[in-house]
Amino acid sequence: MVEWHGYKGKILRVNLTKKEVKVEELKKDWCKLYIGQSGFGAKILWEEMQPKTDPLSPDNMLISSTGPFTGTLIPGSGSISYQFKSPATEAWAETRSGGSFGPKLKFAGFDLIVVTGKAEKPVYLWVHDGTCEIKNAEQLWGKTVHETTDRILREIGQPEASVACIGPAGEKLVKFAAIMNDYDRAAGRTGGGAVFASKNLKAIAASGEEGIEAADPDKFYEAVMEASETMRKYFFQELIGGLGTIGLVNALNAAGTLPTKNFATCFFPAADTVSGETLAEKYLIKRRACFGCTIGCGRYAWVPFGRFMTPPHEGPEYETTDMIGIQSLLEKENLEAIIRANYLCNNYGLDTISTGNVIAFATEAFEKGVITEKDTDGLKLEWNNPNLLLTLIGKIAKREGVGNLLAEGVKRAAEKIGKGADKFAVHVKGLEVPAHDPRGESRSFAIQYAVEPRGACHMHPNWAGAYDFVPLDNGLKPHGLPWPPPDKFAETGVKRGVAYKLLALHGELAEMLGICRFYLWGGEDFGLTCLTPKRLATLYSTLTGFKMDEFELMKAAERVWNLKRCFNVREGLTRKDDKLPKRLLEPIMTGPTKGQAVKDPDGILDEYYEASGWDKNTGIPTRRKLEELGLKDVADKLKL
Amino acid sequence: MKSLIVVPNRCTGCHRCEMSCSFVHFKTMNPSKSAIHVIRVDHAPIDAPIFCVQCGLCIDVCPAKAISRNNKTQAVVVDYEKCTGCGNCVNVCPYGAVTVDPVTKKAIKCDLCGGNPECVKICPESVLQYLESNAASHYKRMTYANLQRMELKPLIPYPRKG
């Protein structure tokens, strides 16, 4: 008799200081309350981490988590997520990646790995077949991501294993260092790589031969086949699957929402030279998918010759292209340079979004004369200079000269520079803004960037443009989604708060179940070809045997969403931190959306706070809301 | 009469066939219990589903006479009552398409799901297909033609170093 369905039912606890490995049972009552992945992460961090912990001290906890859907037949199940306190924002951090590391972790027999303490010398974890070994990684320290992965795979002698590791950037504690798995898949944001390094942890390798069982195999398989068939008609298949996320470049440019030149404008005349179409024509070798994915957005690309010669690897995707290429206005030989830059970032273990943002920031600072050649080791920073871009990436990863300043992220760099540099430092809570713009795309992003617990992010908890930019309802109508959606530039008085709340909870659900967010978007007018809350509920119930309907699932999502918020409240964050950067309040300079700006950020936020039951003045969830969600103990602890 | 074939070079490496195979046969989602194996090489453009071509080499080497050809589907199937898990079939298979389950000690081998392969139904890219013989032969030829394909040589060698 199998005790657990969907879940593996085990938590691996590793104390690196004591070199201790313990296996713990997962608590059954957590499953219905927190579902999994970042839900469990939130619960554990809330309960076990002391407030105001230094993110780079041994006291920070690093949770690698999977959800019940990870590693199953459910489309998009190749998820791995990490939760910790972010060195970039000093607040709640979660960062997710695809590939096959999450599924392999489950096949090794674990739902979560909780790493605490700090090893004396560099180590890596080899998790396999229900056990974990702490192995020496001194010879791996300083090695790039690809070499580390190669060497570990050779050392453990298990070709089917999957490795998540950090590169030299992580070791130098760059504030936006990524955790890379399967060579080129990045859990990039919020600086997980630095947390790995602060524990002297170079990598985690996982492999195993345990399976995942379903509680009701026949009904589950039926639901899976229904979902798979549905996904064949996925609304974005041509765009995201066919061209890759980089296919968005042309689409978003036409709509006037392609952030350009450090967000000064949202239109890039040379966009077609870096589009998905051009990539497919010139440099694409093949499409690639994560574990269990029906979409296949991965690009396996190279630059076979020329001065930006790059070996075959996965990339670049839309965010990389925009943040690295378009933000620095690359016009000539640009796609080659972007592919090369992506390869370097992957190998150093850098988040391409933050890297691109910080480089564009530095270039603008130089242009405005806020920094000079004295601060930049004699480099003349300018737009449209691919060589300079590659040099800066290397400097950031190694913290050399000006790289040392930029490696701190836009927020700290602007503080250090002073002289009004914060006017064009585009970040929220210390996390750099990615390549979606609330001014051109949808005002829902104004809410998302402001309230998202980890800072400005286009994907956590959901792509806010789905609702009114496309527009799609994602199967949220039964939950009260206002329909038809308002104009994408409408701000207050159009129920945007209510709509965004539902959108966020749906995304949060994906994050807790362990599926990719790309599966969430589809409209009733287009046959609802996505994983709606209803489909998720059917899949969850038949897989795990915990009977939950779509409304209960959404409630669990709200519980976790509020718990993450409360984690930040405990760290001292309030409404004053839910603030959009000044740049996004200034009008767009050129293109179809010229003149657009977020005019009433406070008004939009007010509506959202009201919809989610948070106090309008402080931004803290009210006691009534928390008690309604069964989080009375949290309210007590916060003394609300 | 039909054959299971793969359309070369189109697989994205999602492993869904592996999981549906193990789930339909053993009620568990576990690639190591699958009769089809997706080979992905992260640092080379290789994503390829490897499965049994029903050649029948294993029939002769089975000491327990547990392997036979099904007349209806022409699939070479293992009789679990008779299988002793000796591993001769694994050794003889030139494609590495047979494995022995380390727990149950029975050979895991493609049986074409009795003439209705689940991997074909679940493959999102329609890379796996179950086709009438002549159409199938075309793709089989393409697969072998791939062996004689001239490699596009990059200036930097891969698999890459570091």
- The answer, yes or no, to whether residue B161 has pLDDT greater than 70, is no
Model confidence pLDDT, tens digit, residues A233-250: 999 998 999 999 999 999
Q: How far apart are CA B3 and CA A621, in angstroms?
A: 60
Place B158 in a pLDDT band, splitting at 50, 70 and 90.
low
- On chain B, the residues whose CB falls within 8 A of the CB of A295 are 124
Q: How far is B62 from chain A (nearest CA, A)?
A: 26
The answer to whether B149 contacts chain A (CB < 8 Å) is: no
Nearest CA in chain A to B156: A311
Q: Is A73 helix (H, G, I), strand (E, B) or coil?
A: coil
Closest to A178 (Cα-Cα) out of A419, A345, A292, A62: A345
Please report residues of B whose CB lies closer than 8 A to that of A73. 16, 19-20, 23, 29, 122
Query: Is some CB atom of chain A closer than 8 A to the CB atom of B14?
Result: yes
Query: What are the distances in angstroms from CA A211 to CA A108, A276, A562, B104, B129?
Result: 9, 37, 33, 14, 26
pTM of the model: 0.94
The pLDDT of A552-568, averaged and rounded, is: 95
- Give residue A527's pLDDT band: very low, low, confident or very high (50, 70, 90): confident
Say whether pLDDT at B94 is over 50.
yes
Tell me if A174 sits within 8 A of A392, measured CB to CB: no
List, for residues A294-329, the tens digit of each pLDDT value: 999 999 999 988 889 998 899 899 999 999 999 998
> What's the pLDDT tens digit per position in A390-411?
999 999 999 999 999 999 999 9
For position B148, what pLDDT does the model report?
86
Given this model, what pLDDT does residue B162 score? 42
Per-residue pLDDT at B42: 82
**B131: helix, coil or strand?**
strand
Q: Which of B16, B22, B118, B121 to mutate to test the interface with A (most CBs of A within 10 A)?
A: B16
Mutation target for B interface from A100, A314, A346: give the one with most B CBs within 10 A.
Answer: A100
Closest partner residue to B162 among A147, A290, A294, by Cβ? A147
Residue B153 confidence (pLDDT) above 70: no
Q: List, for residues A360-382, the tens digit of each pLDDT value.
A: 999 999 999 999 999 999 999 99
User: What average pLDDT score do residues A416-440 get?
Assistant: 93
pLDDT in tens, B26-50: 999 999 999 999 999 887 888 999 9
Flag whether pLDDT at B160 surpasses 80. Answer: no
pLDDT category at A2 given cuts 50, 70, 90 is: low
Residues 28-87 of B with CB under 8 A from A: 28-33, 42-45, 47
Confidence at residue B122, expressed as pLDDT on a 0 to 100 scale: 95
Q: pLDDT-derived band of residue A516, with 50, 70 and 90 as boundaries? A: very high
Q: In this predicted structure, what is the pLDDT of residue B152?
A: 66
What ipTM was estimated for this complex? 0.92
Residues of chain B neighbouring A183 (CB-CB closer than 8 A): 42-43
Higher-pLDDT residue of A542, A331? A542
Nearest to B145 by CA among B153, B154, B133, B137: B137
Q: In this predicted model, which residue has the larger pLDDT, B158 or A517?
A: A517
Q: Which pLDDT value is given to residue B146?
A: 87
Chain-centre distance for alpha carbon A496 = 23
Across the interface, of A75, A146, A212, the residue whose CB is closest to B30 is: A212
pLDDT digits (tens, 9 = 90+) for A319-363: 999 999 999 988 877 899 999 999 999 999 999 999 999 999 999
Sign of the Cα pseudo-torsion (B148, B149, B155, B157, in order): negative
Average pLDDT over residues A430-434: 94
Is residue B23 predicted with pLDDT exceeding 80?
yes
Give the pLDDT confidence score for residue B147 in this predicted structure. 85
Of A285, A294, A309, the CB nearest to B45: A285
> CB distance A107–B22 less than 8 Å?
no
- A456-496 pLDDT per residue, tens: 999 889 998 889 898 899 999 999 999 899 999 999 899 99
Question: In B, which residues are within 8 Å of A214 by CB distance?
Answer: 23, 27, 29
Please compute the mean of the pLDDT values over residues A199-224 and round it to a whole number: 95
Chain A residues in contact with B29 by the CB 8 A cut-off are: 71-73, 211-214
Please compute the mean of the pLDDT values over residues A509-518 and round it to a whole number.
Answer: 93
Is B26–A289 a contact, with Cβ atoms under 8 angstroms apart?
A: no
What does the alpha-carbon distance between residue A343 and residue B158 come to, in Å, rounded to a whole number?
14
Inter-chain contact B28–A313, Cβ cutoff 8 Å? Answer: no
Those residues with Cβ within 8 angstroms of residue B147's Cβ, 6 or more apart along the chain or in another chain: none
**Residue written as token pair 């972010």:** A86
